[in-house]
Amino acid sequence: MPEFAVTTLIHRPVTELFAYFADPTRRAEWSDHVIAGRWLTPAPVGVGSIYEITTCQWGRTVKTRRRVTVFAPEREFTYEINSPLLYVLSRQQFEAAGDNTRYSVSGHGRLKGFARLV
């Protein structure tokens, strides 16, 4: 799977934007293919916290568990998916830019096991 990287300027304060993007229970509000998100580990959120995202892909409901690998409030939220068929690392970075926030998302992934043969 290819690497990806996107940066954009969003007209929201960094504190508000980080809280929004780092909350999987709100993921369906901004990601079309997401049906729901929920934390599987208790608060407080930090490195090692696990959450589940339910998506609709190719007409099928798919659940993936994601583990937080970096949790730096107002700066970075990074997670990984490490399932038998897929590995993904996604890094979200936040930087104050006046009244705005520079939001960058980057990452990479690869198919594993039988999936890489398909």
Q: Using CA atoms of 64, 69, 33, 13 in order, give the dihedral in degrees to the nearest 10.
A: 150
The yes-or-no verdict on residue 79 having pLDDT over 70 is yes
CB of 24 within 8 A of CB of 51?
Answer: yes
- Rounded to an integer, the average pLDDT of 13-26 is 96
**For 117, which DSSP code?**
G
Least confident span in 32-36, 39-43, 113-117: 113-117
The yes-or-no verdict on residue 115 having pLDDT over 70 is no
The yes-or-no verdict on residue 85 having pLDDT over 90 is no
Position 1 confidence tier, pLDDT thresholds 50, 70, 90: low
CB of 64 within 8 A of CB of 80?
Answer: no
Position 116 confidence tier, pLDDT thresholds 50, 70, 90: low
15-31 b/e with 16+ CB inside 10 Å = b?
A: eebbeebbebeebbeee
Res 44: pLDDT? 93
The answer to pTM > 0.75 is yes
CA proximity to 86, closest of 56, 65, 55, 57: 65
CATH 3.40.640.10 fits 4-113, yes or no: no
77-93 b/e with 16+ CB inside 10 Å = b?
A: bbbbbeeeebebbbbbb
Mean pLDDT computed over every residue of the chain: 94
**For 17, which DSSP code?**
H
